[in-house]
Amino acid sequence: MLEHTLSRFFFIFALMMAPLVMSSAMARPADGFADLAERLTPAVVNISTSQKVEQRRSRGPGQPPFDRFFEEFFNQRRGGQAPSQKVSSLGSGFVVDPKGVIITNNHVIEEADEITVTFSDGTKLDAELIGRDPKTDLAVLKVSSKKRLPFVPLGDSDKARVGDWVIAIGNPFGLGGSLSAGIISAINRDINAGPYDSFIQTDAAINRGNSGGPLFNMRGEVIGVNSAIISPSGGSVGIGFSIPSNLAKTVTAQLQSFGETRRGWLGVRIQQVTDELAEGLSLGKARGALVSEISPDGPAEKGGLKVGDVIVRFDGKPVPTMRDLPRIVAETAIDKPVQVEVIRRGKSRMLKIVTGRLEEASTKPAVEKQSQEKTRSDDDESYIGLTLQSLSHENRQRFGLGDDVIGAVIIDVERDSAAFEAGIRPGDVVSEIDQRAVGSAKAAVDALKAAKQSGRNSVLAFIRSGETVRFIAVPLTD
C-alpha cells in the first residue's frame, strides 16, 4: 500500500514538473550552442593594438659614469629623445555592418597608435578609429575589405530578462575565438564605472581579452558589449558585465555620424531621493530624481522646473531612481520638446522642456573655507545640536560665502547629535526649511521647532556646502 501511494505521488509530481522541464529544454538548444557558434563566430574579431612609449632608464648612483656618458651621447644624436618601445594589448570586437564597421570597448583601443583586426579565418586588416566615448566605454572602428564581411545584428536589450540564456564570444587571454555560455544574472546594474551605468550582469565566463566582444541571445542578436568583470584573481568568477545593446546603438550611431557623442542636456543638478527625503517631499515612497540646483538660462529653467521638484517621468519614460535620469536625458534628441512630470509640494505637474546639448563643463574649484573656529555672538540660535547665525559681512568672509547666498550659516554642530550624523557641518548654509526660504538664524530655528511640534521626525532642509547644494532630511532629535 505504501509503495503504491509513493508511486502515485511521484507520478503526479512528474506531471506537475513536466512543463518546467519542457520549458527549460526549449530555452536551451538540445544540441548545445554549436549551430549558433558556427553562424556567429565569423563576425567576431580579435583586436590587437600597439602604442609607442618612452623607455626610461634608471640613473642610480650605482650606474657606471661611462654608461651614463654614452647614454646621454646617443640620446643627443637622436635629437634628445629617449629610446622608445612598443606596448601591445589585446581585446575583442564584432562587425555590425558588412562594409566593415566594428564595435568594441574604448579601453581596448585607447591611446593606440596602431589597431589590427584579425578574423576567425586568419584575415588581418588595419583598422581606423571612427570615434570613441569614454563615458560609456564604447568605440567604433572601420576596416576596408574587397569582400563583403560577415556581421551580426544588434538586438533589443530591453527585452532581456534575468534567467535568459546568453553566450559570449571573444579573445580571452589572447587565445583566439572562444565561446562561453551562461545566463543573465541581473539587469540595470550600477558598478560606478560611469554616469550612464546600466549593465547586464552574466555568469558566462568573461576574462581578460573578452573586452569589447559581443553577448548574444539565443536568436543570435547582440544584446550586450562585454566590458568588465569583478574578480579577486583577475579571472572569471561568474560576475561579468555587458553594456546594453540599446545604449550601444545610440552611442555608436552618433560616433559614426559625427565622430563624437551629442547628448541631451537638462541643466540641473540632482540627488537621490531617500526614504527620509520622500517623507519631507510628500512622495509616499522614495522615487524619482530630486532637483537640487538649476543652471541659469538652461533648458530646465526655461521650462519652469524648480529646485525641490522631483522628476518622476521624462519623455514618457519613468524615472525610478536618480541614476536613471542622466541616461534617459542623454539618449534624448537635442532640441526635442519633451513632457516632464514632476512632483512639487506633493502634487503632480506636467512641464514642457526643450532639451539642450550637453557640453563638457569645466569644473570650478570649490571655495576654500576660511578658519572655522567657533565664534559666538548674541545673535546665535541653537537647536537640536546646531548653532546658527544670520549671515553677516564677517561670517561671509570667514566661511567664503558670496553676497548672493541667503539663509543662516551653521557655526557649530555637536558631534554626538543626529544632525552631525546626517552630514551637516560648520560652514553649511541653511537656505530653506520645509521648502520655505529662511532669511535668518531665528527664522531657521523657528521653522525647525514648528516641524517638531507638529509631530514630525525629520524636516527637509536645503543646504549649501561650498559650491555644492543638496537637500537633507534633518532629524528633529537632539
Q: Are 319 and 188 in contact (CB under 8 A)?
A: no
Distance, CA of 247 to CA of 263 (rounded, Å) = 12
385 and 459 in a single domain? The answer is yes
* In-domain check, residue 269: yes
Domain count for the chain: 3
The pLDDT of residue 452 is 87
Examine the residue annotation and report whether 297 is marked as an active-site residue of this protein: no
244 and 272 in a single domain? The answer is no
The pLDDT of residue 85 is 56
SS3 state of residue 457: coil
Distance, CA of 72 to CA of 62 (rounded, Å) = 16
Examine the residue annotation and report whether 393 is marked as an active-site residue of this protein: no
* In-domain check, residue 61: no
Range of the domain at 226: 157-258
Residue 347 contacts by C-beta under 8 Å, 6 or more apart in sequence?
none
| pLDDT digit string (tens) for the chain, length 478 residues | 434 444 444 444 444 444 443 333 335 566 688 999 999 999 999 999 887 655 554 444 444 444 444 455 445 545 555 555 555 668 999 999 999 999 999 999 988 889 999 999 999 999 999 999 999 999 999 999 988 999 999 999 999 999 999 999 998 877 777 899 999 999 998 887 778 888 999 999 988 888 999 999 999 999 999 998 887 766 778 899 999 999 999 999 999 999 999 999 999 999 999 888 888 888 888 999 999 999 999 999 999 999 999 999 999 999 999 989 999 999 899 999 999 999 998 899 999 999 999 885 433 333 333 334 445 555 788 899 899 999 888 888 888 888 888 889 998 999 888 888 888 989 999 989 988 889 899 999 999 998 888 888 888 898 988 778 888 888 887 6
* In-domain check, residue 229: yes
Q: Is 59 exposed, middle or buried (0-12, 13-18, 19+ CB in 10 A)?
A: exposed
243 and 308 in a single domain? The answer is no
The pLDDT of residue 202 is 95
C-alpha separations of 285 from 242, 305, 314, 327, 470 in Å: 31, 21, 19, 22, 19
C-alpha separations of 342 from 215, 309, 334, 470 in Å: 37, 6, 21, 18
Give the CATH number for residue 342: 2.30.42.10
* In-domain check, residue 315: yes
Residue 369 contacts by C-beta under 8 Å, 6 or more apart in sequence?
399, 400, 427, 466
431 and 445 in a single domain? The answer is yes
252 and 279 in a single domain? The answer is no
The pLDDT of residue 61 is 43
179 and 231 in a single domain? The answer is yes
- CA quadruple 383, 386, 387, 390: dihedral positive or negative? negative
Closest CA to 211 of 196, 190, 193: 193
- CA quadruple 28, 33, 39, 42: dihedral positive or negative? positive
The pLDDT of residue 156 is 96
Q: Which of 48, 89, 107, 133 is catalytic?
A: 107
- CA quadruple 392, 393, 398, 402: dihedral positive or negative? positive
Q: Which of 137, 197, 324, 434 is catalytic?
A: 137
Of 258, 293, 328, which one is at a domain's C-terminal end? Answer: 258
Of 258, 275, 309, which one is at a domain's C-terminal end? Answer: 258
* In-domain check, residue 39: no
The pLDDT of residue 396 is 85
Closest CA to 201 of 156, 155, 236, 153: 236
Compute CA 407 distance to the chain's CA centroid, rounded to the nearest angstrom: 34
Give the CATH number for residue 210: 2.40.10.10
Of 194, 224, 258, which one is at a domain's C-terminal end? Answer: 258
The pLDDT of residue 375 is 52
The pLDDT of residue 276 is 86
Q: Give me 243's grid cell.
A: 553594456
298 and 325 in a single domain? The answer is yes
SS3 state of residue 110: coil
The pLDDT of residue 86 is 59
Q: Are 424 and 417 in contact (CB under 8 A)?
A: no
164 and 251 in a single domain? The answer is yes
177 and 253 in a single domain? The answer is yes
Examine the residue annotation and report whether 137 is marked as an active-site residue of this protein: yes
162 and 248 in a single domain? The answer is yes
DSSP H helix total and E strand total for the chain: 11, 28
Rg (CA), the chain: 30
* In-domain check, residue 286: yes
* In-domain check, residue 52: no
Angle at the Cα of 255 from the Cα atoms of 251 and 256, rounded to 5 degrees: 120
Q: Which of 157, 211, 236, 465 is catalytic?
A: 211
Distance, CA of 413 to CA of 354 (rounded, Å) = 42
- Can you name the residues that pair with 225 across neighbouring β-strands? 214, 243
* In-domain check, residue 399: yes
Q: Provide the whole-model pTM.
A: 0.68
- Can you name the residues that pair with 468 across neighbouring β-strands? 465
413 and 389 in a single domain? The answer is yes
SS3 state of residue 445: helix
The pLDDT of residue 232 is 72
The pLDDT of residue 456 is 85
The pLDDT of residue 208 is 83
424 and 453 in a single domain? The answer is yes
Q: What is the DSSP letter of 397?
A: H
